[in-house]
Chain A
Amino acid sequence: MKRSTTVTTNPKKQHSFLSRWNAPIAGYLFISPWLLGFLGLTAYPLFLSLYYSFTNYTLMEPISFVGTRNYEQIFTADPKFIQSVKVTFLYVIASVPLKLTAALLVALVLNKAIKGISLYRTAIYFPSLIGGSIAVSLLWRNLFGVDGIFNKIISVFGIEGKGWITSPDTAMGTLILLTVWQFGSSMVIFLAGLKQIPKDLYEASSVDGANKITQFFKITLHMLSPILYFNLIMAVISAFQMFTSAFVITNGGPMNSTYVYALYLYERAFSRYQLGYSSALAWIMLVMIVVATLIIAGTSKYWVFYENDTGGKKRK
């Protein structure tokens, strides 16, 4: 407003205004495909779902505003909400460290200069490309079913198997194992990070008499901490959103032991058509993810080391 009045009163300023804006307009034009996609496909649905979460939106009936009723019901009178949150936290806490450990160990092995290493890297990365798919979930069901291959293998050693997927004590374990197996993308990032660590650090430390284990903890892990930080946050975010394998392999069962949050959200939205209610669930999940991310970010200054910082831990 203010600017436009000055523009009309002073033609000279108008000129400078235009020239000041010319360059950014070109810039905005260049990023417009992304910008339009962001506004139309991300920002708009995002805020629409926030709006829906305060309504009784059901697709079939006209929308009416219900205030915070959905949220009140979720927090006070929804045992399935509490249960699915518990299951999801169990999954996040168990799967993320295991997955990152697996990814790091494999990255360390693949960081060696062996003949044909790129072939190994491709082969090991492969499960992650197909990991989230339905086909792999079906494969998992056959591997760990009552008559699955896993049971056949352990029966050779005289161990009697059971229905790993159909027992409430082990069903979540098999899903976690599937997640751990999909370590590939974290592994690739770790690998890139390992390449960044200067060789002379190892050389200098071995002169000082450090063994491999000390080198791993004092140099490798230390130098890799920003990557670890990044991978940790990415893994936590995707773990909270876990859906496909729980949906396909166990469908939340047995005894709701794998009834993760996204599955509950899906049930409310697409089996019961309570899109308002499930939008509220989605926003609660978002807040949970943000809080988890902030907690990790808050601890980062104690363990993440940046090379361009002078003081490491004691930076700032």
Chain B
Amino acid sequence: MFKWKRSLTVLMAAALVGTLAACGGGEKNSSSSANTATVKDDQAVKLRIMWWGSKERHEATLAALDLYTKNNPNVTFEPEYSGMDGYLDKLSTQAAANNAPDLIQLDPGWTPDWAARKQLAVLTPEVDLSKIDPKLLAGGQSGGEQYAVPLGSVAYGMIYDKAALEKLGLGAPSNGWSWDDFFALAKESKAKLQDGQYFSKDYAGDYFAYSAFQYSKGKGMVITSDGKFNVDQESFLEWTTKFGELRKEGIVPPADINTSDKEFDPQMDLMVAGKILFRLSFSNNFGSWDSLKNGAYALVTMPRSVEAGGWLKPSMYLAVSASSKKAEEAKKFINWFVNDPEAAQILKTARGLPVNKDNADALQSSMSDVDKVGLELLRATETDGQTWTAGAGGWTNYIDKDWPYVRDQLSFNKITPEQAYEQLQTAAKAYEK
């Protein structure tokens, strides 16, 4: 008969061993120092490049890569592109396996961490920085060296469903409006909103929206540039209490709908689905939303208070991974990508207004109407907008994991604004230096 007992023992032992193997971290020789590139000019090189974005950005970037290959037949590309969702996870995992792409697009929020951890290669002198605004360059520097170059300049503001506002008989906001106007319009909308329709997302626990509010109150950054927790208690309680009221009155969506939002997703983006009227937006994202529903949307400055709420910031950075074996070619490409006028004509404002001043000027004369909407927000924010700084390194996880946890609890009404403040304060202790 079958010897179940013995075969079971063997199988279980095998299963356990498999478990152990899955837990074990792989061996990597961390040769993080930049490899000396020994690639000759005409030798065939394949560069891996990774970025996130919407369809417009993918198409523009791919077209630019094609042009570069046409001009430099020895260089070809292996592009990896996706939406923002999961991008950092994927990139970090590859970097941990010492297998990061040669060229990587980074958010300004992560760049200081990556540079400080020496995961990036120094870009000078191969990349010409002379035409780029030093304020934008600062975010890509560490220890006096340039590790990443900014790709565009964008303004932070709001986007709204112009068509829906008109239909509901609500007045459209104008640049320079205040948070009082915002909340007043929200209350006014209550009687007019249709079933399943809401004014804006529930931004009570949203790190970025609250940052804008605290800025406008003149209370500075949520995390100071020297890495200290700086949530102003009074402003935070005012903000969360106001959104708490909107939630109770059904003016912002209930939690399960609020959490289901996925920016730019044709079905799951709450604004595109017609469920909300207002959401936060960067000036360069207008094209992406406009392409999902032509002509429906408009941009407006971030509401202000004693100070302006919005700010200009570099949209993102491009860097060369420290483990790249083709660093020389990758740096050459970055120089072209940022400074070449032909490249700028292809890329347009897919990553914001180009950082190279000449390219930006050349582009403005030939801009499409859609791009002009974004530029208008940029100009309106520029006048008295907050000054953007790179911020302290090491807080990415705080913003990505600890804030959303508090956000969820707030929107599910599980904690009071006071408790939310305490939780944020306690969680920050693990990150303060």
Task: List chain A positions with a Cβ less than 8 A from chain B.
Answer: 38, 41-42, 44-46, 48-49, 52, 57, 59-60, 145-147, 162-163, 165-168, 196, 226-227, 229-230, 233-234, 237, 241, 253-256, 267, 269-273, 275, 278-279, 282-283, 285-286, 289-290, 293, 306-308
Could you pull out 21 A-B pairs where Cβ atoms are within 8 angstroms?
A45-B26, A145-B260, A145-B268, A146-B256, A146-B257, A146-B260, A162-B256, A166-B256, A166-B258, A230-B8, A234-B15, A253-B259, A254-B255, A254-B256, A255-B408, A255-B414, A267-B397, A271-B401, A273-B96, A279-B24, A308-B1
Q: Is the CB of B3 within 8 A of A308?
A: yes
With A168-B412, A290-B16 as contacts: A306 and B24 at CB distance below 8 Å? no
Contacting pair A306 B5 (CB below 8 A)? yes
Distance to closest chain A CB from B44 (angstroms): 30
**A72 smallest CB distance to B (angstroms):** 16
Is the Cβ of B405 less than 8 Å from the Cβ of A256?
Answer: yes
Assembly CA distance A275 to B95 (angstroms): 13
* Cβ contacts B241-278/A at 8 Å (1 or 0 each): 00000000000000111111000000110000100000
Residue B40 lies at the interface, judged by CB distance under 8 Å to chain A: no
Inter-chain CA distance A46–B401, complex, in Å, is 29
- Pick from B3, B93, B260: contact of A166, CB below 8 A: B260
Residues of A within 8 A of B268 (CB): 145
Number of cross-chain contacts by CB at 8 Å? 137
In the complex the two chains form, is B24's CB within 8 Å of A48's CB?
A: yes
Contact A282 B24 (CB under 8 A): yes
User: For residue B88, which residue of chain A has the nearest CB?
Assistant: A271
| Cβ contacts under 8 Å, B24 to chain A | 42, 45-46, 48-49, 279, 282
Bound-state CA distance A278–B24 (Å) is: 10
- Residue of A45, A60, A254 touching B25 (CB-CB under 8 A): A45
Asked if A226 and B4 make an inter-chain contact with CB atoms under 8 angstroms apart, the answer reads yes
Q: B32 at the A/B interface (Cβ < 8 Å)? A: yes
Given contacts A46-B20, A52-B25, A255-B408, contact A275 B96 (CB under 8 A): yes
Given A166-B260, A254-B256, A282-B23, 10 further pairs, Cβ under 8 A: A60-B118, A145-B260, A166-B258, A230-B12, A255-B408, A267-B397, A279-B23, A279-B25, A283-B23, A308-B3
Say which residue of A163, A230, A290, A293 sits within 8 Å of B259 (CB atoms): A163
Measured between alpha carbons, how far is A283 from B404 in the docked complex, in Å? Answer: 28
Chain A residues contacting B23 (CB-CB under 8 Å) are 46, 49, 279, 282-283, 285-286
Interface string of B1-41 (1 = CB under 8 A from A): 11111001001100111111111111110101000000000
Residue in chain A with minimal CB distance to B253: A146
Contact A272 B404 (CB under 8 A): no
Q: Are A229 and B8 in contact (CB under 8 A)?
A: yes
Provide the residues of chain B in CB contact with A146, threshold 8 Å: 256-257, 260
Interface size, B (range): 35 or more
Interface string of B376-412 (1 = CB under 8 A from A): 0000000000000000000011001100110011001
A residues near B397, Cβ cutoff 8 Å:
267, 271-272
Q: What residues on B are CB-neighbors of A196 within 8 Å?
A: 2
Cβ 8 A contact of B2, one of A60, A145, A307? A307
B8 engages A253 (CB within 8 Å): no
**B19 x A45 contact (CB < 8 A):** no
Asked whether any CB of chain A lies closer than 8 Å to the CB of B293, the reply is no
Shortest Cβ distance from A234 into chain B, in angstroms?
A: 6
B152-171 at interface with A (beta carbon < 8 Å): none
Q: Is the pair A270, B25 in contact by a Cβ cutoff of 8 Å?
A: no
| In the complex, residue of chain A having the shortest beta-carbon distance to the beta carbon of B119 | A60
* Cβ contacts under 8 Å, A145 to chain B: 260, 268
Residues of B within 8 A of A42 (CB): 17-18, 20-21, 24
Asked if B419 lies at the interface with its beta carbon under 8 angstroms from chain A, I say no
Q: Which 4 A-B pairs have the closest CB atoms?
A: A163-B256, A45-B24, A282-B23, A49-B24
CB distance from A165 to the nearest CB of B (A): 8
Q: Are A241 and B22 in contact (CB under 8 A)?
A: yes
B46: Cβ under 8 A from any A Cβ: no
Q: How far is the CB of B425 from chain A (nearest CB, A)?
A: 15
Question: Are the C-beta atoms of B412 and A147 separated by less than 8 Å?
Answer: no
Chain A hits for B273, CB < 8 A: 147
Q: Does B332 reach chain A (CB closer than 8 Å)?
A: no
Does B89 interact with chain A (Cβ within 8 Å)?
A: yes
Q: Is the CB of B30 within 8 A of A59?
A: yes
Q: Given A45-B24, A49-B25, A147-B267, A167–B255 Cβ distance below 8 Å?
A: yes
